Structure 1
Amino acid sequence: MAALRGSKKVSAAIRRNGYRPRPLMIAPHVSMRVAAGVVCLFFLAAAATAFHPPQQKPSQRKASTTRHASTSSSPTAQFADVTHAAGIDFHLTCGSLEKRYIMETMCGGIAVFDYDNDGWMDIFLVNGSTLEDLRAGKCHPSKLYRNNHDGTFTDVTVKAGLSRCGWGFGVAVGDYDNDGWEDLYVTYLKDAVLYHNNHDGTFTDVTVKGGVSNADRWGTSAAFGDYDNDGYLDLYVANYVDVDLKHLPELGSGPFCQYRGIPVSCGPRGLKGSRDRLYHNNGDGTFSDVTEKLNIDSGSYYGLGVLWLDYDKDGCLDLYVANDSSPSLLYHNDCKGGFGEVGAQAGVAYSADGREQAGMGIDSADYDNDGWPDIVKTNFSDDANNLYHNDHNGEFTDMAGPAGIGPVSIPFLGFGAKFFDFDNDGWKDIFIANGHVNPQVDKHTFGVTYAERPLLFHNLKTGKFEEIGSHSGTALARRYAARGTAVADFLNNGRQDVIMTVLDGSPVLLRNQTPAAGHWLCIKTIGKRSNRDGFGARVEIKAGGLTQYDEVRANSSFESASDPRLHFGLDNATRVDSIVVRWPSGKVDTVENEDADQELVIEEERGITARHTGAHRLPQRHSR
């Protein structure tokens, strides 16, 4: 461990100045868990020589200076666990408590979406299983909870037709047929299911018709996005490893089944990776598998996180995939229906010191309000999370160290990750759900635990963050084996709440009770020429002398989907000077001089078609 700590000192020196990594070649058969000592020796040797950190780029210097001065101290954030009071009685089953096999460590998808179009966010929780129950046909159903508009939820799973048995993992949300109602895609251990929303509170399994079964593959995260701007949502599915349930490697049975010398579940190294899938929407309720045609994931890496974003702002959605124990992938969209993988060139494939990482959850937002989307990615313990700053030229710089995110995260094993503005000051904060994969660590004095507390990073408006989670309510001070994470305004009161899943336990619904939060604006997009959800639309608002930028999406984090409405904190501003929506179709809608503290429904080429203040709202979405 001494060597490991030494390498972290070198890494910290690199990160303090920002760094675009170059790959350190590690033999593909070497596990990230096993290889740590080898990598550390390399960097200890490097530390013995003169170290000259790279000069900061103009974009990096800009991130640390702004006309908005930092507050002297972070606000008193307050999040309360209201799970039981809200009526959520879900229990996440995910294998044995010992976690003998790798699939027992990866459950926990969440979908936040408005399934019945009443204007309130509902919750779908994906359930797993155990080997014994899976073989016996015993069911651990996922659950759908309808929002009752008063802070409570009602279980409507059976009525909705979502009681399917199986070992589930992730979930994606999107209106794939543009009928005005959100559909669901759920990944399982050996397949996946596409649920069509029937407009009457029920869903129908249309997987076979849709051609998106992901047969014989273990899917984790999935995401809808219209990569060719034809007005229909396409679907990307991250697949993890090929699993033979009849011949599972036993706990501690090989070199890839050890963590710091103790026996643990095997993988992902030593197991065959499963190739991701990209399904093109044909516009008639069916999809075509274009994975091979577009040369997607030819290395069959261990996929865990999926994110559609337009990182170069050319109007075409690009794709970022977080991989476990292998390089993460960034697919640049050529706007002609194809992709080029540019992760290494763009600086988002490896760690700041050039190593492959165990990437888990990812999200994107403009954390420094410079008008360009940045990326956060969670990683394994003994490694820092990444905060990739967009340098406006097709490249990113990992600013986790200078921003104060990297060093804090090293002892934690991160999964769910979400940007959100918990205090409505106009600057995106970050929530990270943590939890180790090996419960065996609790029997040793490694300085890490199986259950871990979440991390809440408050944006100081200077390019830096302060971690305040342990002081933000008892619920955030507690430890969890957390996985999926989603953010939503469940009360329609302008405060963003958080929900995360916990292995072998209840989810945690964290109500945002932060005092003295600022004003806000919520925007719901409805496409006409573009896809109905408006996924991929780029929105810019100006209020109180601050310009903010965001992109419309639902699917990100780890195996999860969040409230698709864009939420902007306005601080002290009571009016919004302008709103510009750039649609995937190329159309642009501009709105001016709007009041704060309301939700606006903006339709493509029509502008504002509805306004909702607080909890006063009616169903408004219909087929176009």
Structure 2
Amino acid sequence: ENAAIPLHLDVISASGGAITEDFDNDGFIDIVTSSWFLDDQLHYFHNNGDGTFTEQTEAANLNGITGGLNLIHADYNNDGFRDIFILRGGWWNDYGKLPNSLLRNNGDGTFSDVTKSSGLFSLYPTQTAVFADFNNDGWLDIFVGNETRRNTEKYPCELFISNADGTFSEQAQKAGVNLPVFAKGVVAGDYDNDGWMDIAISSQGQDNFLLKNVTGEKGKPVQFKDVSKQAGIVGPVKSFPLTFLDYNNDGWEDLIIFTYDAGVSDYDNAAYLLQQPLKGEVSVLYKNNGDGTFSNLSGTSGIEVPMAAMGFNYGDVNNDGWIDLYVGTGTPEYTSLVPNKMFLNNNGSDFKDITTAGGFGHLQKGHGIGFADLDNDGDQDIYEDMGGGYQGAAFQGACYLNPGNDNAWITLMLVGTTANKDAIGARVKIVASLPDGTERSIYQTVRTGGSFGSGSMQLETGLGKAASVKEVTIQWPGGATAVYTGLPVNTYVKIEEGKAEWSKVDHSTIEWQLAPAAEMDHSMHNMH
């Protein structure tokens, strides 16, 4: 059910980002949205915990913070409060020489722009970046994928390494990642299970990149090596959103790269329905072989559907323990009407298109997507920015409330101490016990999801028909490993690095207050 209107989340925006996260640590997930035009205001919606949201943009000191095609978030300074990074200038070539913005969460309900003082000020066009601890020092770094196109200046990618004091030093050239590519998506993950975070880049119109972290030892300068060709992930050429994820629960991070080709999108959508040959490329699921290489599963994965993918994130919408995919679609043209797509994971074998059956086929142009359990009932809801690239294509966002299911679940809230506070990059193995006495393993990594949208970092994990959790094994960033046993199902659990015991967190479930249409006041919900 799309409840954006009755929940007063129906802010009208153009193409933009979305974050679903608890910014004030009150136990309820809030929502932040952006819109890429420079006169479009950022919006912050506070989850009141009583079935309503209240826009608190002004109270949060965010008035005048505008623009942003994409948003990411993390606790960059390890103070226990999640911060926001706004990305600007993507698609605009030389006109996109705009600063990004780092908004520090002050912990009192307000944010402060610390872009310059943190060392992040630059004037390169971008829409994609990722937080990760690339040197395993316990502080999050930032990799920014900038956009260099033919006949433009060169805008190389940037790598900002944390100085462990709230500031950053740019070290892309030293690390070997100052690539002049047309980066449309960047993600971080440990694809080879060596304990060091690697980087994948989708580069529109060019080969994609897999950059292996070869730093090897704490205290050494960060170094990367291009292993794209050896790994076998250079295509597709017309790439856009991507992600690392373990789709088949084998303990190895796989890679999905979706395609975007505005030139043939409308033709291919019709051709696909008519079962005619396609002109463009299809999206690719790369299965990790566990030996440094990937297998291209095109033709068998189920995601080979023309859709002009832009926004993307993932979660487990039916709590069966298998990761599902939601894709925001469309091109800037008004005539381009492509349903947003939901793909249900079929027990790790392939994906099934459940767009129509699940009610996810919104025809507006989907961009930033965030998965999160907005009402603390154990299943994941979804917020999505639905605006297009033109002023006339602005549209209200969508908020899909999950109707629930009978499957078990557990939400793990990890807190780093030696590792970064958010535990971004932590690898988690959950062994669940089934009623018939058998066991199954589910693998998760702490991150905000795919490259276009920023979801909650608490591990909202479906367990299927599990009766209990036998054990949880956590490999913390930096190498420490811990095992916990006896965890209950259908509850929130907090695990702090270095502590031998887990603790149960009591989160009250929300009953949504869905106002009748006649009572709705939309006076505040505009682009500016």
TM-score calculated relative to the size of structure 1 = 0.72
> Which of 321, 338, 346 is equivalent to 2:201?
321
Q: Distance in 1 between matches of 2:338 and 2:51?
A: 27
Contact 1:501–1:507 (CA under 8 A) maintained in structure 2: yes
Summarize the alignment of residues 375-454 of structure 1 with structure 2, pairs less than 5 Å apart: 375-380=255-260, 381=265, 382-406=280-304, 409-410=305-306, 412-439=307-334, 442=335, 450-454=336-340
Q: Which residue of 1 aligns with 2:7?
A: 86
Q: Does the C-alpha gap of structure 1 residues 303 and 462 become closer, same or farther in structure 2, counting only changes over 3 Å?
A: closer
Aligned with 1:146 (options 28, 34, 46): 46
Q: Deviations over 1:488-539 (max 9, x none)?
A: 111111111111111211111111114x341101111100111111011110
2:179 maps to 1:286: no
1:227 counterpart (130, 134, 144): 134
Aligned to 1:123: 31
The reply to whether residue 593 of structure 1 matches residue 486 of structure 2 is: yes
Secondary structure of 2:385's partner?
strand
Q: In structure 2, what is the equivalent of residue 483 of structure 1?
A: 367
Partner Cα distance (2:248, 2:124) in 1 = 39
Which residue number corresponds to residue 273 of structure 2? Answer: none
Distance 1:367 1:555 in 2: 13
**1:567: Cα distance to partner?**
2.0
Residue matched to 2:85:
185
1:301–1:341 CA distance, 2 compared to 1 (3 A): same
CA offset at residue 577 of structure 1? 0.5
Q: State the alpha-carbon separation in 2 of the partners of residues 522 and 507 from structure 1.
A: 26
Shift of 1:366: 1.2
Check conservation: 1:211, 1:286, Cα contact below 8 A. Answer: yes
Residues in 2 aligned to 1:614 and 1:400: alpha-carbon distance in whole angstroms: 42
Give the one of 403, 424, 434 matched to 1:513. Answer: 403
- Distance between the aligned counterparts of 1:493 and 1:564, measured in 2? 17
Letter in 2 for 1:368: N
Instruction: Please report how far the alpha carbon of residue 615 of structure 1 lies from its aligned counterpart in structure 2 after TM superposition.
Output: 2.1
Question: For residue 159 of structure 1, what is the aligned residue in structure 2?
Answer: 59
Q: Given the superposition, is the C-alpha separation of residues 173 and 401 from structure 1 closer, same or farther in structure 2, using an over 3 Å criterion? A: same
Question: Is residue 538 from structure 1 mapped to residue 427 from structure 2 by the alignment?
Answer: yes
Q: Contact 1:374–1:389 at 8 Å: present in 2 too?
A: yes
Task: Indicate how the Cα distance of structure 1 residues 574 and 304 shifts in structure 2: closer, same or farther if over 3 A, else same.
Answer: same
**Alignment deviations for residues 554-592 of structure 1 (CA, whole Å, 9 cap, x no partner):** 25331x211101122111112100000111122112111
CA contact (8 A) 2:200 2:210 kept: yes
Q: Which runs of 5+ in 2 are unaligned?
A: 90-97, 217-221, 266-279, 388-393, 511-528
How far 1:222 moved relative to its partner?
1.6
d(CA) in 1 for partners of 2:228, 2:314: 22
1:391 Cα shift? Answer: 0.6
**1:28 aligned partner:** none
What is the CA-CA distance between 1:607 and the residue it aligns to? 4.2
* 1:224–1:555 CA contact under 8 A, matched in 2: no
Structure number with greater Rg is 1
Residues in 1 aligned to 2:239 and 2:150: alpha-carbon distance in whole angstroms? 14
Identify which range, 425-434 or 268-277, moves more after superposition.
Answer: 268-277
Is contact 2:412–2:495 with CA below 8 Å preserved after alignment? yes
SS of aligned partner of 1:293: helix
| Structure 1 residue 614, shift from structure 2 partner | 5.2
Q: What does residue range 273-352 of structure 1 map to in structure 2 within 5 Å?
A: 274-298=155-179, 300-336=180-216, 337-351=222-236
Q: Which 10-residue stretch deviates more, 278-287 or 363-372?
A: 363-372
**CA contact under 8 A between 2:157 and 2:177: conserved in structure 1?**
yes
Amino acid at match of 1:524: M
Provide the residue aligned with 1:523 in structure 2. Answer: 412
Q: Which residue of 1 aligns with 2:70?
A: 170
1:461: which partner in 2?
347
- What amino acid is aligned across from residue 203 of structure 1 in structure 2? F
- Per the alignment, do residues 595 and 575 of structure 1 end up closer, same or farther by CA in structure 2, a change over 3 Å counting? same
Which position in structure 1 is the counterpart of 2:515?
Answer: none
1:269/1:325 contact within 8 Å kept:
no
Separation (CA, whole Å) in 2 of partners of 1:601 and 1:319:
28
Equivalent runs, 1:232-251 vs 2, <5 Å: 232-241=139-148
Instruction: Give the residue type in structure 1 aligned to 2:503.
Output: A
* In 2: Cα distance, 1:123 partner to 1:608 partner: 31
CA drift of 1:159 comes to 1.0
Task: Return the offset for 1:608.
Answer: 4.3
State the aligned residue count.
468
Structure 1 distance, partners of 2:332, 2:233, is 24
Task: Give CA-to-partner distance per residue, 1:142-164, whole Å, 9 cap, x none.
Answer: 10111122342111111111223
How do residues 94-133 of structure 1 correspond to structure 2 at under 5 angstroms? Answer: 107-129=15-37
Structure 1: where are the runs of 5+ without partners?
1-79, 94-106, 242-267, 352-356, 443-449, 618-624
Q: CA deviation digits over 1:116-165, x for unaligned, max 9?
A: 01121111111222xxxx5xxxx321101111223421111111112234
Q: Does 1:611 align with 2:504?
A: yes
Does structure 1 conserve the Cα–Cα contact (< 8 Å) formed by 2:327 and 2:366? no
- Aligned counterparts of 2:406 and 2:353: Cα–Cα separation in 1: 18
Does structure 1 conserve the Cα–Cα contact (< 8 Å) formed by 2:85 and 2:102? yes
Residue of structure 2 in register with 1:573 after alignment: 466
Structure 1 position 274, deviation (Å): 2.5
Shift of the 269–512 alpha-carbon distance from structure 1 to 2, 3 Å rule, reads farther
* Residues 462, 188 of structure 1: alpha-carbon distance in 2 compared, 3 angstrom cutoff: closer
What residue number does 1:68 align with? Answer: none
Task: Give, in whole Å, the separation in 2 of the partners of 1:330 and 1:234.
Answer: 18
Aligned residues with identical type, % of pairs: 29
What SS does the corresponding residue of 1:212 show, helix, strand or coil? coil
Return the alpha-carbon distance in structure 1 between the equivalents of residues 34 and 170 of structure 2: 25
Give the drift of 1:429. Answer: 1.7
Code of the residue aligned with 2:401 in structure 1: it is R
**Distance (whole Å) between structure 1 residues aligned to residue 111 and residue 442 of structure 2:** 37
What is the DSSP-based 3-state SS (H/G/I as helix, E as strand, rest coil) of the residue aligned with 2:299? helix
Which TM-score applies when normalising by structure 2?
Answer: 0.85
Secondary structure in 1 aligned to 2:431? strand
CA distance in 2, matches of 1:462, 1:488: 22
Q: Deviations over 1:381-439 (max 9, x none)?
A: 43211111111011111214212221xx12x1011222321111111222111112333
Which structure's residues are more often helix, by fraction?
1
- In the TM superposition, what whole-angstrom CA distance separates every residue of 1:291-322 from its partner, at most 9, and x where no partner exists? 11112143x11112121101111111111111
Contact 1:275 1:297 in 2 (8 A): yes
Kept in 1: contact 2:312–2:367 (CA 8 A): no
Distance 1:238 1:319 in 2: 10
Aligned to 2:93: none
For residue 402 of structure 1, give the secondary structure of its aligned residue in structure 2.
coil
